[in-house]
Structure 1
Amino acid sequence: MRITQGCFSFLPDLTDEQISAQVQYCLGHGWAVNIEFTDDPHPRNHFWEMWGLPMFDLRDAAGVMMELNECRKVYGDRYIRLSAFDSSHGWESVRLSFIVNRPKQEPGFRLNRHEVTGRRVQYTTTSYAADRPEGQRYGAS
């Protein structure tokens, strides 16, 4: 099951050249770019780990790509995403976010059904990856 979060998630994985072009677009608009990673891609998991600090004041995508490649060396078995933050008055939020690295195997989610008061049914989703401890969620079973 392929995780579909952020921009471009329904497209085939972007090449490094295409990622660099998107980063250059963001930098051209004055947006700060940051790199984040996680092994729990649940849609409500908004708190991914940051790789370094947000990259303010960069003008060339090569610096971001260098940091992305370093992150891939350490966390290449996890999800990695780039986010571009617009700090201009009136926006002050993420303008663009997309996944740039995925684990080889994406286990997907299970749908949990809960019967609650009044014969109502509630549903939640749980990542199959979360069944294993952090740092051991991908790879050999």
Structure 2
Amino acid sequence: MRITQGCFSFLPDLTDEQITSQLDYCLRNDWAIGIEFTDSPHPRNTYWDMWGNPMFDLRDAKGVMLELADCRQAHSDTYIRINAFDNTRGWETVRMSFLVNRPAVETKLAMSRAEAHGRSQVYGLQTSR
């Protein structure tokens, strides 16, 4: 099973060169870059762990790639994503988010559905490796 979250998630994993191209695009648009990681890719898990602070003043993709390399070294068996934040409207809005690292064994997500009182449906989601 392949976790599909964010931009490009249905494509093959991006190479470092392709990641750098996407970072260049984000930085040309004056978007701040943030790196996050988790071992729980549940779709409702929106609070991933941050790797350092968002890079608001960065203008070169090489700086992000250095931080990404450090994050990959420290958390090689987790999901890592890059978020690009836009603040042109006065608040931080995620404009782009994409995975840049996956664990060797992907987390499996299984959905269950059951009948409940009053013909309502109850859904559950289980994760396992």
TM-score bucket (shorter structure):
over 0.9
What is aligned with 2:20?
A: 20
What is aligned with 2:128?
A: 128
What is aligned with 1:51?
A: 51
Q: Which amino acid aligns with 2:25?
A: Y
Runs of 4+ in 1 over 4 A off after TM superposition: none
Distance between the aligned counterparts of 1:53 and 1:122, measured in 2? 38
Q: Which amino acid aligns with 2:33?
A: V
What is aligned with 1:10?
A: 10
What is aligned with 2:82?
A: 82
Cα shift readout 1:107-141 (whole Å, capped 9, x = no counterpart): 31111223311233222222224xxxxxxxxxxxx
Cα shift readout 1:76-127 (whole Å, capped 9, x = no counterpart): 1000000000011267300000000000111311112233112332222222
Distance between the aligned counterparts of 2:120 and 2:96, measured in 1? 37
What is aligned with 2:71?
A: 71
Tell me by how many angstroms 1:8 deviates: 0.1
Count of aligned residue pairs for this structure pair: 129
Distance between the aligned counterparts of 2:91 and 2:29, measured in 1? 13
Identity of paired residues, percent? 60
Q: Which amino acid aligns with 2:100?
A: V
Unpaired segments of 5 or more residues in structure 2?
none
1:87-98 aligned within 5 A = 87-89=87-89, 92-98=92-98
Q: CA RMSD in A?
A: 1.3
Unpaired segments of 5 or more residues in structure 1?
130-141
Q: Determine if contact 2:41/2:107 at 8 Å carries over to the other structure.
A: no
Cα shift readout 1:7-53 (whole Å, capped 9, x = no counterpart): 00000000000001101110111000000000000111000000000
What is aligned with 2:39?
A: 39
Please give the TM-score of this superposition, normalised by the length of structure 1: 0.87
